[in-house]
């Protein structure tokens, strides 16, 4: 059955359910909802106000139409908030098939979908996002760039945007007054509409609230996102900023970067208080204050460029490729995925969670699914990931391959034991393994990035099977051709 036929069948089903609910006597509906409780929570907008019950299954059909359409439109899929698209489909359905009683056919179904998407796309915007960050307690350099992300120290940020921010006080008040006047013209009593003074208070409230929040942070990312849904745009900007910060974590290591985060990520507050009461004594109050970022010194950027400029540029290039909504190279997004696990892992304060996240990073960097060896036996994921990770770590550090493999296996076994409940997350060995995992994962990602660059960070037509073939060639020198080829 074609997608067009599926759409027609879904629309017919939805209409049948709406009509069925409309025809049921009130008493019968009450009895029906006793047996089908969830159906009462799903409805469509009534053309004359109120709602038309459609039921759970009909609601699922709208979602199926949305997913079916977006599955063939990769760029649109990534730019669209599917819940908004689904809501527009419901509005168009009511207009075309209930209010106007149009015939359900391929033409009207296609028009319903096209009109719904057009309505959604009208709200797409190209947006520049400003995201507060905790990075370093230095203002040098006051501006630096990681791929598509520009980072500004607060001194530079407010030089650039201070006037625009302050101008919003009067602009917000004016815009609010204009909306109030429109409401009065539409019939709202003037006494129920905000006064000029209240409109000014709104402008001050929003700007002062922003300033109060922003004043807590010394750094801001500036990210341009191309036209898309505003919610998707913000999420993309946050993802891009986090990845840029994770690149710093990878290049500088955990010692200097464990506190790096955006303002919207969890972390230790820079101001805290404790309250306790020793036995038979008075309450004890203590206050603590610290910087909400790391302290790497003023030469941190020079150190990255001088010692890790090659990897910095490669990682920034991968992030730039991933800042698109379409045509994202597989190896670039795979590296960024692995980097995300690593960034979360080294900022994690619980050692057990650190181990789990860091092993997930290794898996994303090296895993290509189950395989067969030369004898037709399955190669499990554990064996594949540990061996490939050990090879990458060996290349990065030149430590003996045997010891590399042994250490990786210890880390992997610890992760397995944690997730399967055979050891406690508070076991003493977990702390030591978490410490070792942070450095080993870092080296694996750096060497893996170089390996991916050799294959092609910008290569679009690379499948998981192709990557598997490249990894097998890498393995030949360690395990022999016969044992790794299918």
How far apart (Å, rounded) are the C-alpha atoms in residues 69 and 404? Answer: 48
| pLDDT tens sequence across 183-231 | 999 899 988 999 999 999 999 999 999 999 999 899 999 999 999 999 9
Instruction: With CA atoms as reference, report the closest residue to 328 among 228, 428, 461, 208.
Output: 461
Instruction: With CA atoms as reference, report the closest residue to 119 among 44, 229, 9.
Output: 229
**Confidence at 375, pLDDT banded by 50, 70, 90:** low
- Residue 59 tokens read as 């609601």
State phi, psi for 227 to the nearest 5 degrees. -55, 125
Return the number of other C-beta atoms located less than 10 Å from residue 170's C-beta: 14
Predicted pLDDT at 486 = 34
Q: Does the pLDDT of residue 458 top 90, yes or no?
A: yes
b/e map 206-245, b = 16+ CB within 10 Å: ebeeeeeebeebbbbbbbebeebbeebbbebbbbbbbbbb
Q: Does the pLDDT of residue 483 top 50, yes or no?
A: no
Instruction: With CA atoms as reference, report the closest residue to 310 among 352, 251, 238.
Output: 251
| pLDDT tens sequence across 150-162 | 999 999 999 999 9
Q: Does the pLDDT of residue 481 top 60, yes or no?
A: no
| DSSP-assigned states of every residue in 280-306 | TS--EEEEEE--SSB---TTHHHHHHH
* Mean pLDDT, residues 373-380: 72
Say if residue 141 is preceded by a cis peptide, omega within 30 of 0.
yes
Radius of gyration over alpha carbons of the chain, in Å? 28
**Confidence at 286, pLDDT banded by 50, 70, 90:** confident
Return the number of other C-beta atoms located less than 10 Å from residue 340's C-beta: 18
Taking the CA of residue 16 as centre, how many other CA atoms within 13 Å lie in the half-sphere pointing to its CB?
8
Q: Which pTM does this prediction carry? A: 0.89
Q: Would you kindly state where each structural domain of the chain is located, as residue ranges? A: 3-121, 125-273, 329-484
Higher pLDDT, 1 or 362: 362
| pLDDT tens sequence across 332-347 | 999 999 999 999 999 9
Q: Does the pLDDT of residue 142 top 60, yes or no?
A: yes
| pLDDT tens sequence across 239-262 | 999 999 999 999 999 888 988 999
- Residue 305 tokens read as 């460029």
How far apart (Å, rounded) are the C-alpha atoms in residues 224 and 221? Answer: 10
User: Mean pLDDT in the chain?
Assistant: 92
């Amino acid at each position: 059955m074609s997608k067009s036929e599926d759409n027609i069948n879904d629309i017919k089903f939805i209409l049948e359910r709406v009509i069925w609910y409309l025809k049921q006597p009130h008493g019968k509906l009450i009895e029906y909802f006793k047996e089908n409780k969830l159906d009462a929570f799903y409805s469509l907008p009534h053309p004359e106000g109120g709602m038309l019950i459609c039921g759970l299954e009909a609601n699922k059909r709208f979602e199926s139409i949305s997913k079916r359409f977006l599955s063939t439109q990769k760029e649109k899929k990534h730019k669209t908030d599917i819940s908004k698209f689904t809501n527009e489909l419901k509005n168009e359905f009511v207009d075309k098939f209930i209010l106007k009683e149009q015939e359900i056919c391929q033409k009207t179904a296609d028009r319903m979908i096209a009109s719904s998407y057009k309505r959604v796309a009208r709200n797409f915007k190209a947006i520049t996002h400003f995201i507060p960050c905790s990075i370093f307690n230095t203002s040098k350099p006051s501006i630096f760039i990681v791929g598509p992300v520009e980072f500004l120290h607060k001194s530079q940020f407010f030089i650039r945007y201070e006037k625009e921010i302050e101008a919003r006080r009067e602009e917000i008040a004016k815009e609010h007054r204009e909306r109030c006047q429109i409401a009065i013209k539409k019939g709202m009593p003037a006494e129920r509409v905000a006064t000029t003074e209240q409109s000014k208070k709104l402008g001050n409230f929003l700007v002062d609230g922003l300033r109060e929040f922003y004043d807590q942070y010394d750094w801001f990312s500036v990210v341009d996102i191309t036209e898309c849904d505003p919610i998707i745009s913000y999420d993309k900007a946050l993802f891009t900023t986090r990845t840029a910060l994770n690149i710093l974590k990878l290049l500088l290591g955990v010692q200097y970067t464990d506190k790096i985060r955006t303002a919207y990520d969890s972390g230790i507050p820079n101001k805290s208080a404790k309250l306790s009461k020793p036995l038979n004594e008075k309450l004890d109050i203590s206050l603590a204050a610290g910087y909400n970022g790391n302290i790497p010194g003023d030469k941190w950027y020079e150190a990255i460029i001088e010692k890790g400029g090659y990897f910095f540029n490669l990682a920034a290039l991968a992030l730039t490729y991933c800042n698109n909504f379409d045509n994202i190279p597989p190896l670039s997004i795979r590296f960024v995925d692995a980097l995300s696990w690593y960034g979360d892992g080294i900022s994690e304060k619980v050692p057990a969670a650190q181990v789990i996240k860091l092993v997930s990073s290794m898996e994303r960097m090296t895993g290509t699914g189950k395989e067969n060896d030369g004898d037709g036996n399955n190669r499990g994921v554990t064996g594949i990931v540990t061996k490939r990770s050990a090879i990458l770590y060996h290349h990065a550090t030149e430590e003996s391959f045997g010891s590399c493999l042994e250490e990786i296996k210890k880390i992997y076994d610890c992760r397995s034991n944690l997730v399967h409940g055979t050891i406690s997350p508070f076991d003493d060995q977990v702390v030591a393994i978490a410490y070792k995992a942070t450095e080993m994962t870092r080296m694996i990602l750096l060497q893996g990035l170089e390996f991916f660059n050799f294959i092609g960070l910008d290569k679009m037509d690379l499948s998981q099977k192709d990557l598997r073939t490249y990894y097998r060639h890498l393995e030949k020198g360690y395990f022999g051709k016969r044992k790794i080829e299918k």
